[in-house]
Structure 1
């Protein structure tokens, strides 16, 4: 009986496809398709239903299913598009086959439902698995990228690096800050590291403790840590918490911290205009002699 049902479906695929598309179009305001053009939605719908028929005709072919799931992820559509689409296909197909015969009994309906489920279930399972697997991979890559960006170490000059911190610092991020600091100090042969907390909204006991730990770790590998971006409210919080930041220099701004870093590395900022003026006066005096 399954072969008979399959023949009916494949022989009337154009009609079933059109009925399927008509019903799917009614869902175009759903989250998975509200932000795409009508042309893209139509082409994606036709590709989807063709893949369904292709899976019915060529069981075990997963290449197209995998490519289609990747396309949906790139479009940013939810997995509900897959489940809704297959449920619509199931309903449209069953209704169409039932309308093709006058001899309907319980056994006929039971076999029909069993056959359609046998076509749909492998497709939905394969698509959802591929979809979930791709999402997990993308999320994993995004998580790694976010972690790298959440505690960047930027070499701004020989022997001087800066770590700008933005956002809330939790235990996991504090661990990442420590690792990046130590790796960066060694990699860039840094003598001074400036930790800029201008973008950190709250400095509590835990955050301050992690910063002190990071500074101590940097000191143990032979570099100096300067904490910059100390706003008045943060300074008051640190004092109220009784946290000792006297082990390393602190500055209110990155600019002041950078000047201090230059001093620690035996350099200084020179006013070019004053230097040029001094050279001109020296040349004039030599010429006068």
Structure 2
């Protein structure tokens, strides 16, 4: 950063802060920050303005570290990225106005503003990258958490477990179903596993293929698999697609599936 720009920002700090604060007030109205209390907004605003102004005289390596720390803090607080990017654009406009007032030579104004603009663009790019990376990490963590919850294996009776499936089954989820089934069968010493597809909206060739593969894998580890929750529309789709489930026992409801599982494990329910 040119010493002239650093000196200008330092000497005109109070005026710069006043002008910039007015611009930020307008930006607040344009963003979804109405629910934030005035006290929290004012404190954050002051921290943001002081942080950026202090960054003017910081070397590049230290600046990047501070920017990353700043971005992480406010991402976790839920502040929108647009507020900071628009705030930096407002900072650019205010500085251009000050440069125009204090410097009469147009060429010098343009030269100084060009350097200031590059510096601000660098900060914006860094914030965008940090925000994007952090949200991608959060998204991946949430995706993994949802996957872990999307194929639970529930022991309901001795030797009988149920895996309820809800939602679309893609390749990644089918792999998780297979892993959970095999691990659960061994852990719970299951003799019969009921795969309940009541909550699966569409059963196409790919979904059926994954289910058949899971059934075969379960058979290889010494258990039997029953597909339950076959709704009329699902049955019609399976027939129309020519999917062969002849080697795979099916039942229309979970209750009927449990009754079959009890028969296979030499058990029965008795009304008292």
TM-score exceeds 0.5 = yes
Q: Do residues 173 (structure 1) and 150 (structure 2) align?
A: no
Normalising to structure 1: TM-score of the pair? 0.82
Counterpart in 2 of 1:136? 136
| Kept in 1: contact 2:218–2:225 (CA 8 A) | yes
CA-CA distance at 1:266 after TM superposition: 3.0
- Given the superposition, is the C-alpha separation of residues 204 and 129 from structure 1 closer, same or farther in structure 2, using an over 3 Å criterion? closer
- Given the superposition, is the C-alpha separation of residues 67 and 193 from structure 1 closer, same or farther in structure 2, using an over 3 Å criterion? same
Aligned to 2:92, what secondary structure does the other structure show? helix
CA-CA distance at 1:244 after TM superposition: 2.6
Mapped partners of 1:205, 1:113: distance in 2: 61
- Residues 215-254 of structure 1 mapped to structure 2, 5 A cutoff: 215-254=215-254
Counterpart in 2 of 1:262? 262
Q: Do residues 80 (structure 1) and 82 (structure 2) align?
A: yes
Unaligned runs of 5+ in 1: 275-289
- Residues 1-289 of structure 1 mapped to structure 2, 5 A cutoff: 2-31=2-31, 33=33, 36-59=36-59, 60-99=62-101, 101=102, 103-271=103-271, 274=272
CA-CA distance at 1:29 after TM superposition: 4.2
Normalising to structure 2: TM-score of the pair? 0.87
- Given the superposition, is the C-alpha separation of residues 62 and 188 from structure 1 closer, same or farther in structure 2, using an over 3 Å criterion? farther
| Number of equivalent positions | 270
Aligned to 2:161, what secondary structure does the other structure show? strand
Query: Could you say what the CA RMSD is over the residues aligned between the two structures, in angstroms?
Result: 2.5
Write the deviation string for residues 46-85 of structure 1: whole angstroms up to 9, x where unpaired.
2222221121133324454223312332344443333212
Write the deviation string for residues 70-107 of structure 1: whole angstroms up to 9, x where unpaired.
233234444333321211111112212322x2x51133
CA-CA distance at 1:190 after TM superposition: 2.1
| Kept in 2: contact 1:94–1:113 (CA 8 A) | yes
| Kept in 1: contact 2:99–2:109 (CA 8 A) | no
Return the index of the structure with the highest Cα Rg. Answer: 1
Write the deviation string for residues 161-192 of structure 1: whole angstroms up to 9, x where unpaired.
22111112233332332232223223333222
Mapped partners of 2:83, 2:142: distance in 1: 23
CA-CA distance at 1:195 after TM superposition: 0.7
- Given the superposition, is the C-alpha separation of residues 54 and 269 from structure 1 closer, same or farther in structure 2, using an over 3 Å criterion? farther
